[in-house]
């Protein structure tokens, strides 16, 4: 569990660490910080899948995976209907909410 906490901490801190270099690298730092959020999402998805495989009856992990499936399903639907503005604005906060939720699950776990 300690390894999972370390990986999650790295994944969360990576975009912020890159963004801090803004005074040195200007816009490139912000671009790479935004790009690194995909790495964060991939690492958190991998952690979530591993935890769900280890604890398939954990209701909180099932809720997390349902949220991930909902996000990607909504993203697919949005692309199929040529990007509705309402759905697009709804998609923006979901990754942040999922990241916070999984982090809370990881750090509260004993």
Residue 18: the pLDDT is: 93
Residue 58: the pLDDT is: 96
Residue 109: the pLDDT is: 67
- For 18, 26, 62, 108, the CA distances from 15, given in Å and listed in that order, are 5, 15, 27, 23
Residue 1: the pLDDT is: 86
CB 53 within 8 A of CB 107: no
Q: What is the dihedral of CA 78, 83, 86, 92, to 10 degrees?
A: 70
* 3 vs 90: CA distance, rounded Å: 33
* Residue 76 pLDDT > 70: yes
* 46 vs 60: CA distance, rounded Å: 16
């Amino acid at each position: 569990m300690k390894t999972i906490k370390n990986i999650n901490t790295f994944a969360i801190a990576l975009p912020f660490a890159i963004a801090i270099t803004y005074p040195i690298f200007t816009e490139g730092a912000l671009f790479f910080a935004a790009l690194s959020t995909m790495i964060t999402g991939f690492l958190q998805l991998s952690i979530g899948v591993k935890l769900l495989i280890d604890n398939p009856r954990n209701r909180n992990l099932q809720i997390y995976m349902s949220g991930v499936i909902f996000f990607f399903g909504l993203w697919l639907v949005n692309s199929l209907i040529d990007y509705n503005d309402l759905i697009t604005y709804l998609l923006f906060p979901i990754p942040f909410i999922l990241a916070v939720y999984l982090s809370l699950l990881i750090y509260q776990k004993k």
